Structures are given as structure tokens and as C-alpha cells.
């Protein structure tokens, strides 16, 4: 059973436009579909992964991976997909500690069943994720460890470095670590070049 025409069309449109509409902050890193076929099951799950690397704001330089999956492609796009953050993150609207794999661990209004419409598509999902990095909503917190804006930017930096917040240890963010290492190398080269003058 192959993917439906609508889901294929929406995915290919996303692949063509993701770099431009996200200003280079989002990219597809994995795509695919896995059949869930047995004698009682007719549905097919379509999923792909997206990396978001914010170019500004408190998460600047970090890279965060999300899985977007459609449980029943025949229902696309009448129901929102399941979106799961796969990267440790200190964010009020993302609960990366949630291990329930059949629900989203991202809270943004456009992805709610009551708000989502058949006009929404995968671009809507990526735009919503980008929005969360620049406009975290503390009034609708999902995360049990990030529910206040007190010291928020400082705590985000601690999480990106791989620190501990409220007893939870974060893994260092790979994108942030790579960016910092590149910046440190550039600074060292600049200092060496300045000393040679």
C-alpha cells in the first residue's frame, strides 16, 4: 500500500520549500514510511524527521530533532500528525520526558484537534515548531520542569551545555556544542593572527 496522493504531494512541497520558508532554520533529515499491515490492520504510517536550528533567540545554535508521523494516511490532512521532539530541550511547550509514543509531546494551538483543519499541511507543522522557539508560551506549559519564565534564558543555556535543572540532567545539544567549538577555533585563530602582527 503506497502513500496517498495528498500526503505525497504535501511532503514533496515541504521538501522543495522548507529551506526558503524557514530561512535555512529547518531541514528534513529522514523520510520514509513503514507499513503496519497484518490481517486486521489496513493503515500505513508515514513519518519523517526534521531538524530545527534557530538562528536567533535563546535557542540560537542548538539543533533539535522532531519526528512528524501520520498514523493513518487515509485521514491526512483531516487530523493533525503526531509530533515528537527527540532531543533534550528545556521548553515550556515541549515535554521531551513524555514517553507516550502515540501522542505529541509538543503543545502549540495549531496542532490541537479543535484548531487543525484540512487546509493545514506539513509546512504548517514546521512553521508551528519554528514559532515555539521564538515565542514560548508559559501560559500553556506542557513541560513539568519548565513552567516559568524566571531565569528562562539562563536555564536554556544551562540545558544546551548539558547541565542539570531541577534534578534533570540534559545531554549537551550537539548543534550547540559544534557551533561553540567552531567559534572557539575561530577565536583562537584570530588571537594567533593578532599575536603575529
Kindly list the catalytic residues. Answer: 107
C-alpha cell at 175: 548543534
Contact indicator for 129, 66 with CB cutoff of 8 Å: yes
69, HSE (Cβ side, Cα atoms, 13 Å): 19
Q: How far is CA 197 from CA 81, 90, 126, 186, 192, in A?
A: 58, 44, 48, 17, 9
Closest listed residue to residue 129, CA positions, set 113, 114, 111, 115: 111
Amino acid at each position: 500500500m503506497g502513500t496517498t496522493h495528498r500526503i505525497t504531494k504535501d511532503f514533496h512541497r515541504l521538501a522543495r520549500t522548507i529551506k526558503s520558508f524557514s530561512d535555512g532554520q529547518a531541514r528534513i533529515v529522514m523520510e520514509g514510511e513503514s507499513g503496519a499491515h497484518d490481517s486486521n490492520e489496513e493503515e500505513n504510517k508515514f513519518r519523517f524527521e526534521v531538524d530545527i536550528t534557530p538562528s536567533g533567540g535563546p535557542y540560537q545554535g542548538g539543533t533539535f530533532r522532531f519526528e512528524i508521523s501520520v498514523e493513518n494516511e487515509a485521514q491526512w490532512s483531516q487530523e493533525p500528525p503526531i509530533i515528537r521532539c527527540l532531543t533534550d530541550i528545556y521548553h515550556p511547550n515541549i515535554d521531551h520526558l513524555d514517553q507516550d509514543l502515540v501522542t505529541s509531546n509538543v503543545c502549540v494551538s495549531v496542532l490541537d484537534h479543535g484548531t487543525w483543519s484540512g487546509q493545514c499541511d506539513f509546512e504548517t507543522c514546521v512553521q508551528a515548531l519554528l514559532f515555539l522557539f521564538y515565542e514560548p508560551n508559559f501560559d500553556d506549559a506542557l513541560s513539568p520542569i519548565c513552567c516559568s519564565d524566571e531565569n528562562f534564558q539562563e536555564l536554556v543555556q544551562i540545558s544546551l551545555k548539558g547541565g542539570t535543572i531541577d534534578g534533570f540532567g540534559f545531554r549537551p545539544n550537539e548543534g550547540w556544542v559544534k557551533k561553540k567549538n567552531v567559534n572557539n577555533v575561530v577565536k583562537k585563530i584570530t588571537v594567533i593572527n593578532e599575536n603575529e602582527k
